[in-house]
Amino acid sequence: NDDDVRKALELLAYRYSMAGQREATRLLFGRLIEMDSQSPKAFDYKYQIVQSYLNVGQEKKYLAEIKEWVSEFGPESQWYQAHKG
C-alpha cells in the first residue's frame, strides 16, 4: 500500500543522507514531498535536502535549496498555514 511505499522510501532516503549521497537524498526526499506536499513530514524532508548541501563546497546549491525551503514551507506558504498552531 501507499503507506508502506512511503515508509520504505523514507528509510532509504535517510540511509542515503547518512552515507553522504546528496543527489540520491535530494531525489528521494523530493519524491516524498511530491507524493504529499502537505504532510507534516514534508518540512523535515526538505530540511534533509538542505542539510545535504551544507559544508560540501556547493554554496550556490545550498543557498538555492534554502530559498526553496523558505518559499515552500515559510510563513506565507500553504504548508505553514495548514500546520501552524
Q: How many CA atoms lie within 13 A of 33 on its CB side?
A: 19
Taking the model in full, what pTM does it have? 0.90
Cell numbers 515559510 label which residue? 74
Q: How far, in Å, CA of 61 to CA of 15, rounded?
A: 21
Q: How far, in Å, CA of 62 to CA of 81, rounded?
A: 25
Q: pLDDT tens across 38-50, in order?
A: 999 999 999 999 9
Q: How far, in Å, CA of 85 to CA of 10, rounded?
A: 26
Q: How many CA atoms lie within 13 A of 4 on its CB side?
A: 1
pLDDT in tens, the chain (85 residues): 889 999 999 999 999 999 999 999 999 999 999 999 999 999 999 999 999 888 788 889 999 999 999 999 999 999 999 998 7
